[in-house]
A and B are shown apart, each in its own frame.
Chain A
Amino acid sequence: MKCFLSLLLFFITLQLLAQTTISGRVQARGGERLPGANIYLKGSFDGTSSDVDGQFSFKTQKTGSFTLMVEYLGYEPFVKEVLLNGSDINLVVELQETFNKLEAVTITAGTFEAGDKKRANTLNSLDMITTAGANGDVFGALQTLPGTTTVGESGRLFVKGGDSDESKTFIDGALVQTPYNATAPNTSTRGRFNPFMFKGTIFSTGGYSAEYGQALSSVLLLKTNDMPAEDQLDFSFLTIGAEAAGTKLWGSGAVTASVSYQNLEPYMRLVPQNYRWNHAPESTSAAISIRQKAGKSGMLKVYSNYDLGKLNINQLDLNQNKMLDYSLGNDNFYLNTSWITPLSDKDILTTSASFTSDVDQVAFDTTHLDKQLRGFHLKQVLAKELGDKNTLRIGAEWMNSFTEEKVRLSAETFRNSFNVNILSAFAEAEMYASNKFVVRFGSRIEYVDFLKRANFSPRFTAAYKLSDASQFSMAYGWFFQNPSDDYLFYTNKLDFERADHYVLTYQSLLKGRTLRAEVYYKDYRNLARQGTGEFYLPETYNSNGSGYASGFDLFIRDKKTIKNGDYWISYSYLDTQRDYRNYPEMTTPTFASKHNLAVVYKHWFGKIRSYVGVNYKYSSPRAYNNPNSVQFNGERTLAYQTLDISWSFLYRPNIIFYGAVNNLPGFKQEFGRRYANVPDDSGIYRSTSIIPGSGRFFLVACFITLTKKGDQNQIDKIQ
């Protein structure tokens, strides 16, 4: 027995004496020392952290076989089996960086991304709202980015020498057929959507993914918000209208309903206008948005908007040389749904659909024009992760649109219409060779029944990271689009219009400073042209047009140098010519400015809880055509200049006051001249200058949010 006890004692002592020291160094591949790594024996409390030089050392009483773990944020854990028997262990641990898509190189050629993700974006959602001059218009805010030209008489997006119908807008993957409000001719429009609806924006000005077709110049991808955080009521009061919205949550879903009414009548009474309005622009809209979670990461989103607009303006009719009333009624319905279904951890199926119905009723003198658009878009995309470095996306879509135009004259009625079905499929693979290098190549095929034609477009992009902060990115691709609706009323013998993009981008993101420089070349071919024959004859039209656009874009953003200040500067140089539509020769189109500059500055004044924004924009003169001159597009508009300011005052966490003035110094703005269709008796085409509705624009608003549970603070502040 004694023998047994002493044996036992011996073993216990042995165990106590068998102390092993584990020491070494933690470093990254390439030798960089990693301080603060966690080194331990799995399943025990024994371990330590590495010091500033990556060195570590600790003692353990444990004996036998153990797993040594070394963990460090952003690196793959190091795992090693060790035998603890009293003899010291010394090792150099080399950790490998985790492959992390958020930190890896990203494709930036032609692309601006705005969102609330942690990843460094060039813009965030708030920027879309607080940019002076945009007054909460998504498209207005985008016009402070390089690659865009401000066309004052339109307000739409004109990107890198492309016409406005070459830019398409998508919400949650589904097409928006009528993204802009209906307006009178030669007056600026705004987007139909409230920027607060979106959590992210991707604005691609070239070389975009094969997922998107029917856009020669750019795609704007808007992602709507996910689940709202709590029940709330929002009220907005503006000098031009009011809006109320309510959000109600249930277990796994939420609904937001809103109504809004806008009427410029009172405003136009106060501020002198350049035109006489018989009925100031008035619009009533109602929207509903539903979110329903399905399973762990599935989500169904439904958004629907109904919009009723009306206006009547007195305009000079140059053909009859007298003032006439132009009245417009617009009736727009839009439904958008998207459904994300994870099929497994690696596969995600996204189905999106949209439906649009848009009716314009225009009356001008004795002419009535009824324009109708009905269309839908159905799309299904399967994203498949192959390993953690490769993603394959395949998808198919069906777009339909029915367009009808009825011209009612006093004596007779003309009716024209066409129906287009577009069937397409695409496949695209994104492959990371490492954190530093990624390629994406895809292709897309489309068949259009109306034209009885098909197209095939290859797309390719690659990006290479030079250092943690800077990278190069390039893109190449073919892009196709149906010819303008104006021509498809009369012919279906046209080919697709085509643009080939070549984009090279350098981007550097360094601690709150962004620099982007981009050069591009676009080769346009098969552009639709209108010959000299009668407009209603199919033979009048052909696809022999062509053109090019090349340029250089620069973007600088700096949130660092000025404390509480944040500014960006965009400059674009554009050289473009085209021979299309009714152009007799290759010439610079009317929507292109050679030089475009935007300077946006925002400053946060903590003491007075105010966010102040100033924005200056300049666009060099654009061409316009004077039929009295022999030279086509030979005239030049005034250079466009504006200086806008805005002020947001956070009165309470839930109450914001907002004031803004567009074109504060009252720069003279003129967008060329319009001319009569036929010369008068003396052989001269009469003309008048195109000017904005008023020299300046003022806006005052108040936004209120009411919540009932959760944050008690807010309730205190409401009283």
Chain B
Amino acid sequence: MKTILFTIILTLLVVSGFSQSTEYYQAMGESLGKYASCKTADDFRALGNQFERIAQAENEQWLPLYYHANCNIIAAFIETDPVKKDAILDVAEKSMSRMLELVPEETEVHALQASFYTARLVVNPMERGQKYGMLSGQAVGKALSIDPTNPRARLIKLQNEMGTARFYGKDPAVYCDEARQLMADWDNFKPKSQLHPNWGKDQLAGMLQSCQ
């Protein structure tokens, strides 16, 4: 009897010990599921808040910070008022710097850093083009130097290059072969877990449509 009692107590202890972790997976899974239904900048900021709540409870995890920053970067792209854009990016910046402290050698973080700089750039391309274009290029270069196969880093590099080509009146189609190659490689890259970043294929598909 004692053994049974002991087992029950032990099980309960273990379950409660794991419960936070299970809750983490549940909360992350549930939040990631909401991406699809977000449309406005406010939707993305609200989802960002949700990730921020997870981040504060699980302060050694970088993934909630990643999605928090990601949601706010998307919100900044959607937002049209330049002052608000910068304010939203200030929110993202906090998570970006925290992540770079936690996981300084994580490819995904550097790739996201590149999108972050691009978002700063589009607030005022005329004044910020030079500085943030260079920072974005450096961030994506750093990501690819850690893992040259990372599809999101490759995607952001392609987006930057095609954007530059378009701006300088060159035909961005010269990058189409590279884009097709990336699509072919896309599924070879396996995210480390269900919760790890796995976005970008849709954007690439959209990019490829303009290639035809």
Contact = CB atoms under 8 A, between A and B. Distances in A.
A binds B: yes
Interface of A: 1, 4, 8, 35-36, 38, 40, 42-49, 52, 69, 71, 73-74, 116, 118, 124, 126, 229-230, 511, 604, 609, 611, 650-653, 707, 709-714, 716-717
Contacts of A47: 49-50, 53
A711 B134 contact: yes
A13 to B, nearest CB: 14
A703 to B, nearest CB: 12
B1 interface: yes
B161 A713 contact: yes
Nearest to B141: A710
A51 to B, nearest CB: 9
9 contacts: A1-B1, A47-B49, A126-B126, A229-B131, A609-B167, A707-B134, A710-B138, A712-B137, A712-B157
Interface of B: 1, 5, 8, 12, 23-24, 27, 42, 45-46, 49-50, 52-54, 56-57, 83, 86-87, 90-91, 126-127, 130-131, 133-135, 137-138, 141, 157, 160-161, 164, 167-169
Contacts of B167: 609
A712 B141 contact: yes
B143 to A, nearest CB: 12
B56 A717 contact: no
B25 to A, nearest CB: 11
Given A36-B45, A42-B56, A49-B49, A609 B5 contact: no
B57 A36 contact: no
A38 B42 contact: no
A126 B50 CA distance: 40
Contacts of A49: 45-46, 49-50
A45 B133 contact: no
Contacts of B54: 45
A711 B141 contact: yes
Given A45-B57, A49-B49, 20 more contacts: A1-B1, A1-B5, A8-B8, A40-B53, A40-B56, A43-B56, A45-B27, A45-B54, A47-B53, A49-B46, A49-B50, A69-B56, A118-B86, A229-B135, A604-B126, A609-B169, A653-B133, A709-B141, A711-B134, A713-B160
Contacts of B83: 511
Contacts of A116: 127, 131
Contacts of B52: 38, 71
A652 B170 CA distance: 10
Contacts of A45: 23-24, 27, 53-54, 57
A652 B137 contact: no
A44 B23 CA distance: 9
Contacts of A609: 167-169
A653 B165 CA distance: 10
Given A44-B57, A73-B91, A709-B141, A230 B134 contact: yes
B64 to A, nearest CB: 10
Contact of B137 (A124, A651, A713): A713
A525 to B, nearest CB: 44
